[in-house]
Structure 1
Amino acid sequence: MAGETWKTIQERWRHHRLQMIGIALVAALIAWACERTGVLESTEHIAYDEALVRYTGGREKSQQVVVVAIDQSTLDRISQDPQLQLNFGNWPYTRTLWARIAQEMKAAGARAVLFDAVMDERTADESADLGFAQVLRETGLPFYVGMASSGTAKPLARADFTAPVPLKAPEPAPTPEPPGDTFPEEFEDAAAPATPVLTDQALARALAFPARWTDGKALPRLGDTPSRKASPPRYPVPPTPALVGAVNGVGLVDMEADGDGSIRRTAFAYTDGTNTYVTLPVRMMADLLGAKEVTLSGRTLRLGERTWRVNDDGSAALDYGGPLEERFKTVLLFDVLDDWIRRSKGREPGLAADTFRDKVVVIGGTAVGLNDIKATPFSPMQPGLVKQATVVDTLLSGAFITRAPEGVDLGLTFLVALVSAVLLMTARWTMLEVVWPLALVQGLFVLTGLLLKTTHTHVLMAMPALAGVGASVGALAFNHLVANRETQFIRQAFHRFMEPKLVEQMIRSRQLPRLDGENKEITAFFSDIRGFSTFSERFKEDPRQLVRILNTYLTAVSGALLREGGCLDKYIGDAVVCLFGAPMAQEDHAVRACRGALAAKAAVEALRVDFREKGFPDVYTRIGVNSAVNFVGNFGSDQLFSYTAIGDGMNLAARLEGANKAYGSVIMIGPRTYELAREHIEVRELDRVRVAGKTEAVTVYELLALRGQLDASTRQTVARYHQALGLYREARFAEAAAVLEAEAARSPEDGPTGKLLERCREYLESLPENFDGVANLEK
């Protein structure tokens, strides 16, 4: 059964492979067009997010990055403490607070601080800005702040990184007064320098950072996002002048969200058409790695001696590894401030000594009221600083997620479409047609998820899934079209040779025949009119009458066979060839053939009576029935072909029909037919015969009646025949003849009795050489 199924699949591929490839190609092209036009963007985002969460989430906390959170409790506790509110005010706090935080970070051994916010507005008390700048210079703590871009910002001069940075002389500034008397020694700063007045070149040098493509590609423009290009030109908004020269570096903190507002990717460098700028994490890492520029080459980002794999356009997806609270140790800003107060009073800090030691500290807002809540694949409500922390952690020791080359996406898309088309168009299993699209989508989800986890590669899922489903729909449509054509062909081809209700049943049950041929066990029926040549001589002067008689005979025999579910193969003159078990599968094909043979015999007997009354010659039919595996299908030429069977089984059925003459029988059946139908029929074992061209002898039987319908007289005749046959096979011809003579006197019309008696008398006179009780059945 499995072998036949595999053969069927191979033949369907051979006959329809061009259609399969065509369906797959069309489905792949449609999916590609949908992906290119953005139709699948939302679906791809959903699939990517789900795979990212399921397959890359749950990673352990970073050992290199610590988050200091400006949370709601920090805002509440500062606002509820009169002294702290007097010193630092309400949100946004004076720069004095950040000076204290910087001092504490230095004391706690932080490696660097990345402040995920912008400080581009001058405060009312400029001395606070100057004091903060002075603290940064004194501590030497690597401190980096963000900058935004705006369409209303002033364009900067072109930065010349080869020339010295010119600064105008600072103007004198008043010494700031202590903000309160709680911590007089700590809060009293020395006379702060005046606010420096930067030249245009100095400001450009402070904000810009060298970045380039080595292969001539263009960097994205400020304001561009992964999903759209910015229309109006944008320029960076610098921090307050007091901080420009005090912080170690400034970097972009624009949102970089996809079209649905979720942050999945980042670009590392931008341009405003004049200068190049890098994102805040890249600016900090450039200093930590000693890099003087950012270079992009092919799919590689380079900072100093370190490289990371990125996309062709210089961007990369973020490997979050989980939500913020699971990936990074988070310390409240108030706890850091409290530790500074403790240190200033000579007390031990409350936080563990190694909390910040040798760590990169990312400071940012987590409170909802700070309006820095963003969407990521792991949550629609994540603090925006999770992006900066993730990029920093990846740059320190990790890998970004990059898109697979377009060729890989297209190859997978076509492969999925082709597999879908081939599978459904060759197998044609209803259950597979239902299950396959679901299994396909789930399989692609697992595949893309595992690739994300193991190789940090994002292979598109929506495009191949659409191609696979589209190819499946195309394959089903083709199958139904082919099935309709096959159904129509079957109906036209067989309605004259089978009972119409059986044809429709075959079509409804989808038992459509293999018209290109298959090996199948069937039962073949052959019948012929005895002495038809003599019969036709009577009508040589009136051939039309002969045709009418012959048509009447063939109609009677054919009707009996069709009622038993037979398929008329052909008429050869007066001969009728019929198949049982093909094209429609019939488990009881042997029984049906035997019933059909008996019914045909009865129909001919009725015709003989009618013909005698009309003065027509007698018609006497001989029938051969044999079951065997034959090759059935359409045979013929381009001009004419028909559904038939070929094989030794068919040859034996024809021989059995002719052998009736030698045995005086009417219906002779082969051994396999008897084996399959023995519980339903009454037979007489006629002889063991050897067919011409074969060495093995087979037992042949005369079909007499259906089980239980044999009259007592015939039963006695059969018993005497079997007794004589046993004596005959032992070469006791005289004894066999005696039994047969007695039975012939009682039943003179029994043909097999008379024929065996003749053979016994013949062998009494001349015994053949090497007699083995087997008769040779010649052609």
Structure 2
Amino acid sequence: MKKNLVRIALGLALVLLTLGHSIRLYQHPLLSHLDAITYDARLRLTQPGGQDSRVVVVDIDEKSLAEVGRWPWSRDKVSRLVRQLTDHYGVQLVGFDVVFAEPDESSGLRVLERMGATSLKGDAAFLASLASLRGSLDYDGQFAATLKGRPVVLGFYMSNGIPQGALPPAVLPAGTFKGRNILFTSWRGYGGNLPAFQAAAPAGGHFNPLVDFDGISRRVPMLVEHGGQYYESLSLAMVRLLLGNVPVRPGYAEGGSGSGYAGLEWLDLPTPRGALRIPVDENVATLVPYRGGQGSFVYLSAADVLQGRVAPASLQGKVVLVGTTAPGLMDLRATPVGEAYPGVEIHANLIAGMLDGSLKHKPPYALGFDVVQVLLVGLLLSLLLPSLSPSRATLLTGAVLAGVVGLNLALWQSGLALPVAGVLLLILALYAMNMSWGYFVESHSKRQLTQLFGQYVPPELVDEMARDPERYSMEGRNAELTVLFSDIRGFTSISEGLDPKDLAHLINEYLGAMTTVIRHHRGTLDKYIGDAIMAFWGAPVADPDHARHALLAALEMQVELRRLDAPFAARGWPALQIGIGINTGLMTVGDMGSPLRQAYTVMGDAVNLGSRLEGLTKQYGVGIIVGEATRAAVRDGVFRELDRVRVKGKDEPVAIYEPLGLAGSVPQAVLDELKLWQQALRCYRAQEWDQAELQLMNLVRLNGDCRLYQLYGERVAHLRQQAPGDGWDGVTTFETK
């Protein structure tokens, strides 16, 4: 026991660190993210899937916008939609996931009234016609009249801006929760419907989900506070109206409404068959019981409903939500089951979950449960793991891990959403700490090797080298290697358009992403040269597939670059374009420099050619160019020959190629285009200008944005005027770098 005291102390420190998060002394970002990830994983693992036909989404989709017109529609069309749903199709209830906040002046009534009050106020015929037309042109009045007496719930949104429109009556008055410290979501303002509409509709509810720290919508507050009063969500308002406009009764653990316990645990809706219970958390929010991805409910186009093209059975007796999935109307949200999930379907999931009684509950005692499981598991593993052999420690950790996961899943299936991320991370951290203890006493040679090469090569290669450190040295030697150069296009103009801090963040994120790709493919990072990257393959660890790994890294760098577009655009940064040059050949590799500074790097003609190839990517309008030796080494690659060039500093011409991918992964259309290009290139080199031009025109029709085809078209046009002669070898000479 005495020899394990340090390990036990470290284990107990990890337990205390996890407990601080569990009791909310602080919130560790990693644990918060893991909590969210484990919740989402349980949700997706147990979601029922399929379609729930009880709730139908009448969708203001792209088809509806094209057929009926851009949103917002005139109120006479919305009135007709409501009448179609209630009178013609006989739905039970209609809820609007949209707000009618502005008067509708599309009929021209306001203009006619101004004319009647000014220039035509003495025209009796005009005034008489206006009076007879007023009812048919008052679209807002028609909509208000349509809402009256029909089962329609209007939606509104809460905000911290200036109040606009009208709110429905509060579902619970001020003072309902007096003496209780309940963490309601409070708002200073709102965006409501026109007062005439809200007065005519039997109910209204907000459609604001709560957006968690990671941007995901997992909960919707059932009640929110504004001006001391409490307003319900759209889904709660619809379920209440569906049950006969029943009241909302707060529910507390002790079964009363006294002030002895602050937490509000559920809301009850009384029905003849007993109370319909809606569990809520500390923010009076309910977890959304997502059935699955988008399409878990029936979607019908609003245009089809308006035109009566929907079968009656599809809507009769249904609960209808009117909302939109059209991207331009901005009602798409990030959820555990989809990154662009229609907001209207969030309410549909809640309505179905309330009716089924399938809502998950995160009770107030979840905090205490987490503390207990962290203490029990943490103490058990902290005391036992240091004294066990690796195999027994692994078995014990696996058993404890399986027990915790199994218990949590069983509680989840019973309706409880309890935290599990903290204890899972603690189990893994205690196991990893105990299993990695031996690394602190590694031999001096292994530690020295890690210090020398750790900044250049991926950790897994350092580990491989550490198994036999005597084989590796930083002394200079000649070897066939592959080098890669990359550079950002137009970086000067990009840097001039960003402030220094943004520029630094952009470069750091870009270089970090590209370096991760290089290391993933066993590359050795040589250096950063401003925005440029230099890396090589085949040293210090020998790699017979160094050319192939370099090519795969370059292809993935281009893919990873596009993955950066969205986060860059969100921060107002420009999308980046890079050029990559790859060359394989004999190079000198080793630790080079001066007594003041040295670096493990490569030198030689093959390295210089790699740098020149990167510079040529802009000339040919491609993202990657490789040399002949690289192409020959990657036998399963598909390449497009670009040209034969004579670069600055070299007399011998070299063929250059653009990699299109690995065999089997390149689409047939690209392969067909490649055959046409090869024919065009043969005609070009044979000085068959007419045939070359014809093939290039066909290629331009296939891919008009390709700079390569435009370049050769320009060359053919030039060479027609100035014939190159019989001695022409088709080589392009570049005098600059």
TM normalised by structure 1 equals: 0.46
Larger Rg: 1
- Give the TM-score normalised by structure 2: 0.48
